[in-house]
């Protein structure tokens, strides 16, 4: 009997061992390794795709239901996503959301509340960057927290505007101004909305409340007819995901740091930087397209109707894909990429700096804010400094061509248009890659090494143009054109 019992115990132990091995094989870590990705990256991808079944549940069971149920659903699902990705570190977002609610209630619609919000939320985010920073790109709690930081700052500003006289606000400020007093549940639902918690997009409290109240639909009184538009964005996101997955093992920023890269000819180093600079953005494009589809499915993407009474679903669009893929200008890429974040910075930073009386200074400070918002690494500062420089030079060059009859006639020659486009695209993506090098390599020792290998081409090229273009303008633009512009 003892031997039989021992045999049974041995069998059970063996079965347990096999099952444990099976579960380990099915673990996210094992799956991520087999896909050539990190476990955190896999959790992120799973989380943004989980937005679709959550949106379907919301449409089927909660649309037009009591507001408190919808807020609870959004808060619970967002917190679940936070826990799935970051475990107990979700307390960082809970703390900031709770304190933000107290700031609104205790300080009211005051400048003090706005300044306290800005200082506290940014300080908390920057402290998070400081204590969690490494030399590599890591997916940690600070990633969704930077999205949350903008949400909560925008909430405080809109709440402040809600206490002002309507006539003292711009039409844009009137649209976003919060007239009521948000409850804790409303703030939580707004903050943790599952379709935007991890990677955005940004949206206002007023827009969120319209969703909860069932106003964001193309068919009044009914669930929005948004399934097809949502699936289109999802499909496009999947195309970019497949492309990125297939190419990512072959085009990496790590190669920029290798001796093999440094030993290649100069033209090869530049072309690799060009191709990598285009490709590296696809991971962001993927995430934003997929989450946009979730927002559209819920109705949050509804943006009224066009002139033909066709519903527009681009309220949460973070990408203009066609413009992104075809524009030959840096300003075109900026206008097509991370749209809602750029709109947020324009609305709450750039336009609020109007009192400075200097557009370029306001733009420079806005880009400095964006650099700090991304992180404390020097690479972010260098990247946005390059953006500032490139945009200034591009505008000066475009103005020169427009004002100079000779250059304007030369630029309008039809047969040369394909050549001009090719040259523009080459310059555009070469120096986009140049800027993204600092952004993705973070630390000065890494990006400095790569910049040195291409002889600081981006800085030399655009700084030279910045000083040369005014003299070219004097030569190429007739005096009468200058006088006409002055009038």
Q: Say if residues 45 and 32 touch (Cβ distance below 8 Å).
A: no
Rg (CA), the chain: 26
Specify burial of residue 237 (Cβ count, 10 A radius: 0-12, 13-18, 19+): buried
Q: Which two tokens stand for residue 295?
A: 């927002």
Rounded average pLDDT over 221-243 = 95
Alpha helices by DSSP H, listed for 346-478, are 359-374, 378-403, 405-411, 417-441, 444-453, 457-476
- Owner of token pair 């795709």: 49
Which three-class secondary structure state does DSSP give residue 424?
helix
Which own/partner contact pairs does 261-264 have at CB distance under 8 Å and 24+ positions apart?
261/453, 262/453
pLDDT one-digit tens code per residue, 179-191: 999 999 999 999 9
Question: What is the distance between the alpha carbons of residues 177 and 346, in angstroms, rounded to a whole number?
Answer: 16
pLDDT one-digit tens code per residue, 11-32: 545 555 544 444 444 577 777 7
H/E segment holding residue 215: none
Q: Which two tokens stand for residue 93?
A: 């977002």
Q: What pLDDT is recorded for position 23?
A: 44
Burial per residue of 364-403, b for 16 or more beta-carbon CB atoms within 10 angstroms, e otherwise: bebbbbbbbbbbebbbbbbbbbbbbbbbbbbebbeebeeb
pLDDT one-digit tens code per residue, 128-172: 999 998 877 788 999 999 999 999 999 999 999 999 998 899 999
H/E segment holding residue 56: helix 51-57
- The residues assigned a catalytic role are 338, 374
Q: What pLDDT is recorded for position 14?
A: 58
Rounded percentage of the chain residues whose pLDDT exceeds 70: 92
Question: What is the distance between the alpha carbons of residues 383 and 375, in angstroms, rounded to a whole number?
Answer: 12
Q: What pLDDT is recorded for position 10?
A: 54
Question: What is the distance between the alpha carbons of residues 215 and 302, in angstroms, rounded to a whole number?
Answer: 9
Q: What pLDDT is recorded for position 3?
A: 47
**CA-angle at 358, arms to 354 and 360, nearest 5°:** 110
Q: What pLDDT is recorded for position 370?
A: 96
Does 471 have pLDDT greater than 60?
yes
Distance separating the N- and C-terminal Cα atoms of the chain: 108
Per-residue pLDDT band for 6 (boundaries 50, 70, 90) equals: very low
Q: Of 75-79, 94-98, 355-359, 426-430, give the lowest mean pLDDT range.
A: 355-359
């Amino acid at each position: 009997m003892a031997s039989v019992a021992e045999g049974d115990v041995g069998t059970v132990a063996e079965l347990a061992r096999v099952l444990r091995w099976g579960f380990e094989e099915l673990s996210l870590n094992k799956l991520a390794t087999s896909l050539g990705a990190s476990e955190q990256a896999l959790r992120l991808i799973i989380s943004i795709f989980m937005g679709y079944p959550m949106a379907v549940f919301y449409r089927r069971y909660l649309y037009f239901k009591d507001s408190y149920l919808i807020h609870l659903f959004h808060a619970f699902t967002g917190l679940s996503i936070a826990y799935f990705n970051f475990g107990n570190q979700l307390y960082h977002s809970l703390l900031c959301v709770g304190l933000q609610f107290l700031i609104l209630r205790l300080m009211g619609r005051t400048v003090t509340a706005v300044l306290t919000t800005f200082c506290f939320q940014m300080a908390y985010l920057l402290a998070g960057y400081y204590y969690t920073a490494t030399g590599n790109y890591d997916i940690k709690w600070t990633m969704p927290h930077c999205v949350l930081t903008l949400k909560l700052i925008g909430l405080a500003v809109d709440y402040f505007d809600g206490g002002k006289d309507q006539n003292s606000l711009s039409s844009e400020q009137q649209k976003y101004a919060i007239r009521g007093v948000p409850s804790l549940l409303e703030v939580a639902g707004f903050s943790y909305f599952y379709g935007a918690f991890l990677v955005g997009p940004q949206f206002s409290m007023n827009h969120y409340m319209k969703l909860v109240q069932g106003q964001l639909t193309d068919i009044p009184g009914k669930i929005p007819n948004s399934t097809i538009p949502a699936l289109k964005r999802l499909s496009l996101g999947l195309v970019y995901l497949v492309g990125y997955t297939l190419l990512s093992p072959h085009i990496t920023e790590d190669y920029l740091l290798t001796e093999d890269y440094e030993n290649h000819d100069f033209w090869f180093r530049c072309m690799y930087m060009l191709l990598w600079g285009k490709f590296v953005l696809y991971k962001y494009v993927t995430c934003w397209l997929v989450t946009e589809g979730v927002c559209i499915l819920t109705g949050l993407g509804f943006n009224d109707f066009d002139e033909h009474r066709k519903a527009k679903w681009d309220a949460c669009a973070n990408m203009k894909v066609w413009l992104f893929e075809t524009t030959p200008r840096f300003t075109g890429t900026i206008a097509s990429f991370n749209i809602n974040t750029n709109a947020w910075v324009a609305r709450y930073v750039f336009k609020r700096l109007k009192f400075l009386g200097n557009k370029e200074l306001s733009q420079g400070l806005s880009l400095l804010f964006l650099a700090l918002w991304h992180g404390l690494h020097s690479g972010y500062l260098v990247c946005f400094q390059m953006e500032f420089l490139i945009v200034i030079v591009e505008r000066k060059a475009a103005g020169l061509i427009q004002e100079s009859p000779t250059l304007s006639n030369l630029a309008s020659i039809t047969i040369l248009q394909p050549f001009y486009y090719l040259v523009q695209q080459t310059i555009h993506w070469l120096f986009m890659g140049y800027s993204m090098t600092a952004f993705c390599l973070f630390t000065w020792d890494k990006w400095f090494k790569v910049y040195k290998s291409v002889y600081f081409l981006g800085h030399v090229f655009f700084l030279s143009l910045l000083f040369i273009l005014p003299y070219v303008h004097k030569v190429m633009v007739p005096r009468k054109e200058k006088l006409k512009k002055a009038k």
